[in-house]
Homo-oligomer: A and B are copies of this chain.
């Protein structure tokens, strides 16, 4: 029986990190949803960087750059953090650079992990299939907001946990997972309405960026799994396509 754990903030990762674990990084609004969308629309690779300076250097080196701070697109960047920015015309066969307020910071925290995947509602069932065949312990890292916990990432983590528990190949022991499942059980009855009461929805709405919320909450629009490749230090999609139904 493999274990599932949930880390509610990137800053807590050191206290949850264990060897031989598949780490799944999630930032529903919107970095990890956007990375999945970019791959779905043909991007070849995604490199995450922590700072604006690194992103600018990569831009000077000729890469297309997605850069966001505090929900807004950075002036110098080719893309913001909306999944709709990454159209096939713009991203097909391109190597992209990403830096965002939360999601890419969470990736940086986990770089030493055994394997790192990018999770979103859009690839949740494929992740579930991946985890079943990988047959390892799972740790889901919620990106949160400036290291504070957030509901949308917690709900994704609980949704994936629920799917994995149903396979009877996984179990959980931690209070964090129990807490997340409790909230998911309330929210899942009407996810969109529930999300509209959260901090980050408010933040998106105040910046007129709530148009992508429905997409960010929709399950299984892409069967692709971005996985960190330690040789190229970029995310690439897995060779195998994992069932997303």
With a cutoff of 8 Å between Cβ atoms, the chain B residues found around residue A186 in the complex are 182
Query: For the complex formed by this chain, how many copies does it contain in all?
Result: 2
Interface SS majority for chain A: helix
- Mask: chain A, 126-165; 1 = CB below 8 Å from B; 0 = not: 0000000000000000000111111100100000000000
Nearest neighbor of A153 in chain B, beta-carbon distance: B175
Tell me the bound Cα distance from A146 to B7 in angstroms: 13
Known: A8-B8, A182-B186, A183-B179. A174 touches B148 (CB 8 A): yes
State which of A11-19, A107-115, A211-219 sits at the interface with chain B. A11-19
6 A-B pairs with least C-beta separation? A15-B147, A151-B175, A175-B199, A150-B175, A149-B176, A182-B183
**Can you show 7 pairs from A to B with CB atoms below 8 A apart?**
A8-B8, A9-B9, A148-B176, A150-B175, A179-B179, A179-B183, A182-B186
Q: A148-B175, A150-B175 are in contact. List 10 more A-B contacts (CB 8 A).
A: A9-B9, A9-B12, A15-B147, A151-B178, A154-B179, A175-B199, A178-B198, A179-B179, A179-B183, A182-B186
